[in-house]
Homo-oligomer: A and B are copies of this chain.
Amino acid sequence: MLSNIRIVLVQTFHPGNIGAAARAMKTMGLTNLVLVNPRSFPDEEATRLAAGATDVLENARVVTSLEAAVQDCVQVIGASARLRSLPLPHFDEPDEMAEQVILNAANAPVALVFGRERSGLTNDEIRCCTHQVSIPANPEYGILNLSQAVQILAYETHRAWRKRAGNDFTYQRPLDATPPSREQFVHFQDHLGRLMQQSGFLTQPHARTEEQLQALFARAQPSRKELSLLRGLLSAFEAHFPKQP
């Protein structure tokens, strides 16, 4: 599915942007890059900024027209900071675009087309597109660097893919520490409650205060190990109290 998503860069001026775009793509699981008349490619600067994504550069297809880049695509989305007067269907929000892209890319190639750094896409190139998308930005300064625009749209595409049921993405999570059993947690609460009394903190049974503090600890969701540390701390405090009857 992600392999059906094609990133097309038209007449990119700075080879560094090509490299950075390749890296941006690969971090989001995209590998299909097409370059239309790049000013300088291959180029050391592209290789340098691609970092671990030089394979994307090596597999990139270089063509001489946008038409050649997208003729087999069922959807061609032109990313443009400046909307043209040619009223193509337009996505206000990249996430809406990404949902459609993921749907269509299940079956056939879909292209995201990025124009030149300074002048974007020509009207002829817009005519190769089925849709336009803009990245909502600061109205006072809304022109993103080319590779940053690629990163954002690739990110949104990945996000739409993640959110679709049935994909095989798993989140990277911290090692889940074992939670305590209910019994262990109740022992802790009893210990804490006892010390609240014995320390003189609660001069008379104050169910509310005790509940509030207990709720704090419950919300913290201590692991088994953390609970054990807390018990040890309470015991260390307790050792200084006067002997209890």
Contact = CB atoms under 8 A, between A and B. Distances in A.
Interface of A: 20, 23-24, 26-29, 51-53, 83-87, 90, 92-93, 95, 134-139, 141-145, 147-148, 151-152, 155, 158-159, 162, 169-175, 177, 223
Contact of A27 (B84, B141, B174): B141
Q: Is chain A's binding surface mostly helix, strand, loop or mixed?
A: loop
Contacts of A136: 158-159, 162, 169, 171-172
22 contacts: A20-B148, A26-B141, A27-B138, A27-B143, A29-B138, A51-B145, A52-B143, A53-B141, A83-B173, A85-B174, A85-B175, A86-B174, A87-B174, A90-B174, A134-B171, A136-B158, A136-B159, A136-B162, A137-B158, A138-B158, A151-B151, A155-B155
B87 A223 contact: yes
Contacts of A177: 87
Contacts of A172: 83, 134, 136, 139, 142
A161 to B, nearest CB: 10
